[in-house]
Copies of this chain bind each other. A is one copy, B any other.
Amino acid sequence: MIRIVIADDHPIVRAGLRAVIDSEADLDIVGEASTPSAAFELADSLTPDVILMDLQFGTDETGVDATTRIQQLPSAPHVLVLTNYDTDMDILGAVEAGAAGYLLKDAPPHELLAAIRAAAAGESALGPTIASRLLGRMRNTQNVLSPREQSVISLVADGATNADIARSLHISESTVKSHLVHIFTKLDATSRTSAVAEARSRGIIR
């Protein structure tokens, strides 16, 4: 019997997962969480085999944060990420946090059930598409932006001028321009608009 916790902020998605999983004789849902911290607490108190984890809960804390914390538990369950997001940042972030699998929410039920059983057996539960995405893109995401560069690109994406950004971050415009030069190099961009577009497509900003 594989014991499962469901972590998703949408009641209808939880109901759907329940419906799919409840009809399987070897699977048992032992708990449900609608926030990352509730997911962590259930992982700790219920010691499930597998936890199905959404990435975005409409809270500051994310499914990646909860996944990271869950890895510190003495009997950490296998985390299977189930999400709408398929950018490189999202995939790599979840895998680096210790997720054993990554599935998109449009996956048909038989794929979901196979992924749950694989994760419970300690196997990688990445579909071939996601696995090859991961391998092919390791180099790019290693060039990820520094925390300061992240702040700058986020403000650019909000429509801020270099002068606005300098004021917000209490630095000079020269420093803003320096950060932008680095951002352009890392993202292979030549303007603020192309840098923002690339950062969006990589999931660096949302």
Contact = CB atoms under 8 A, between A and B. Distances in A.
Contacts of A14: 16
B159 A11 contact: no
Interface string A184-197: 00000101111111
Contacts of A107: 11-12
A203 interface: no
Given A9-B106, A58-B106, A109-B11, A160 B16 contact: no
Contacts of A84: 84
Contact of A12 (B105, B193, B194): B105
Contacts of A13: 12-13, 16, 105
A2 interface: no
Given A159-B198, A191-B159, A193-B193, A15 B10 contact: no
Interface in A1-33: 9-20
A145 interface: no
Interface centre among A9, A15, A17, A189 (most CB of B within 10 A): A15
Contacts of A10: 16, 105-106
Nearest to A23: B15
A156 interface: yes
Interface in A49-102: 58, 84
A146 interface: no
